[in-house]
Every structure is written in structure tokens, then in C-alpha cells.
Structure 1
Amino acid sequence: MTQQAHDRFEIPQEMRSMAESGFKQAREAFEKWLSTAQAAAGSMEERGEAMRAGAKDLGARAFRNAETNVQASLDYAESLVHAKDVSEVMRLHSAYVQAQMRALGEQASEIGQAVGRAAMDATKVKH
């Protein structure tokens, strides 16, 4: 190709328009992707915060439940020390087991509800 031919080489207008349109679409697609990625990152951060708050609440509930159960066991042990006979021991044991079964059922229900709330909170996305 001569210098004169090289200097006169021009891209046809249709090809230039198609290329410009393609670049414009590519830029818009990239910007949309970037915006979506940033929103997803923010959403994950919010979910992480909600999960940490839920875990903290569950930990506090578990600690309170453990404290309650240990206190009940200590009270039961103390009552056994003061029992006068075997029939009183059996009555105290029966009462303790029934009370603990109720307490454990309530605690399991409470923890289950808290886990459900924490899961729901973690899946909520703020707009």
C-alpha cells in the first residue's frame, strides 16, 4: 500500500457506526454489571451484620438457658440433701424431671424461633 493510499484509508461510516454502537453497548453492560456487583457486595455485608447480630442473640439465649438449667440442677441437688426419706427423693426427682422437660421444651422452642428470625433477617435485603 502506498503512502497516499494509506493516508486516504477511511473506515466506512456504517462500520464506524456499528463499532461505536458495539462499544457503547459494551460500556453500558459493564457499568450495569459493576453496579449489580456493588449492590450484591453491599447486600452480603448487610446479611453478614444480620447474621452476626442473630448469632450474638442466640449465644446470649443459650447462655441464659444454661444458667437457668444449672441453677435448677443446684436447687434440685440441695433439695435432695434435705430429703427425709426415699419417697421424698422420688417425689423431688419426679418434680425436677417434669420441670426440666418443660423448661427444655420452652428453651428449644425459643431458640428455634430465634434461629428462624435470624435466618429471615439475614435474607432481607434493604433497598
Structure 2
Amino acid sequence: MDIEQYRAYCLQKPGVTEGFPFDDKVLVFKVMGKMFALVDVDAFESVNLKCDPELAVELRERYDGAVLPGYHMNKKHWNTVLMDGTVGDKLVYEWIDHSYDLVVAGLPKKLREELQNM
């Protein structure tokens, strides 16, 4: 997967926007204003994805060295996934889905309903 495939996959989800809220290198994807994915656009060496805390620990153990605690993020709720080919594209897409779904589940009911109507 390259950065354009990653970007396209994130953007095809309902309610998703992208932007550079921190600097001109870190592209952030949000659903209804809440972050679910981040990537360095210059390097595309890794991506940050939100994750259920128990699953986050399991993935870090299972993919030791390829899935790490979220860089510059809450280590309990975010993973950094190295994009060096160790983890296949299919899994990365599944983890993007998981991150998106986790954030959507935490949205207020009104925003979830609005999202369903998009």
C-alpha cells in the first residue's frame, strides 16, 4: 500500500475529512471532527490508528516490532503501525476500519444519526 491508497481508503468512509491541524507533515483523518488516523505525508513509514485498549496490547505482542504504542499519542488507545511490509495491506485496512468504527461508536447519538444519513 502506498500513501495514496491509504488516503483514498480513509476518505471513502462517510463523514471523513482530512487536514493538517498540527503542521504541514502530519495528515489527520477525522470522522465528524474526531481523529481516527494520522500519517506523515513525507515519509509514509508508519500510521497511527485508534484501537481498543485490550486489542492494542494484543496486536503489539502479536506483531512485535511492527505495531507499537502510538507515537505522540495516548499509548493506551493508539497504535503506530510500521508500513514496512511486515503487516499486510488487508490487516492495515481492517485496522483502519476498527479505528473508524471505534471513533464512530464514541460519537454523540445526534452525530451518529447524522452520519448514518450521509
TM-score (ref. length: structure 1): 0.26
Structure with the larger helix share: 1
Q: Choose between structure 1 and 2: higher strand proportion.
A: 2
Normalised TM-score (structure 2): 0.27
| Larger relative contact order, structure 1 or 2 (CA cutoff 8 Å, min sep 6) | 1
